[in-house]
Amino acid sequence: GAVVSQHPSWVICKSGTSVKIECRSLDFQATTMFWYRQFPKQSLMLMATSNEGSKATYEQGVEKDKFLINHASLTLSTLTVTSAHPEDSSFYICSAHGTSGSVAKNIQYFGAGTRLSVL
């Protein structure tokens, strides 16, 4: 089955530092990836749509300079939380739409998530 790898799974950082989260599609190519944020006991909130080779599309209210997204290849998208503050602490999840191979093309496949704690 389709596998999306997200790394790291857990990170603790000091306030003011930047953190990079990687999202990789391991057995399929993904021209479109999505980044979500999830608070405890709440649903997934879409932050941005990451498109290979072009700029990401951010949802309303999401600061693009705060959450930098890079989708440099068909299998990798990265989210960088710049100058992180305690309010950025959350569970970040990526997903990828399959576009080739045997994966279903209508389905988003999700990574395992990254727990970010900013001290």
Partner 1 sequence: GESVGLHLPTLSVQEGDNSIINCAYSNSASDYFIWYKQESGKGPQFIIDIRSNMDKRQGQRVTVLLNKTVKHLSLQIAATQPGDSAVYFCAENPSGGYQKVTFGTGTKLQVIP
| Positions in the binding site for partner 1 (CB under 8 A) | 4, 6, 31-32, 34, 42-44, 46, 49, 93, 95, 97, 99, 105-113, 115
Q: Give the shortest CB-43-to-partner 1 separation in angstroms.
A: 5
Show the tokens assigned to 10: 């857990």
Q: Give the shortest CB-12-to-partner 1 separation in angstroms.
A: 15
Please say whether the beta carbons of 67 and 80 come within 8 A.
yes
Please say whether the beta carbons of 40 and 102 come within 8 A.
no
Residue with smaller CB distance to partner 1, 71 or 97:
97
Place of tokens 């970040």: 92
Q: Give the shortest CB-72-to-partner 1 separation in angstroms.
A: 19
Tally of CB atoms within 10 A around 16: 10
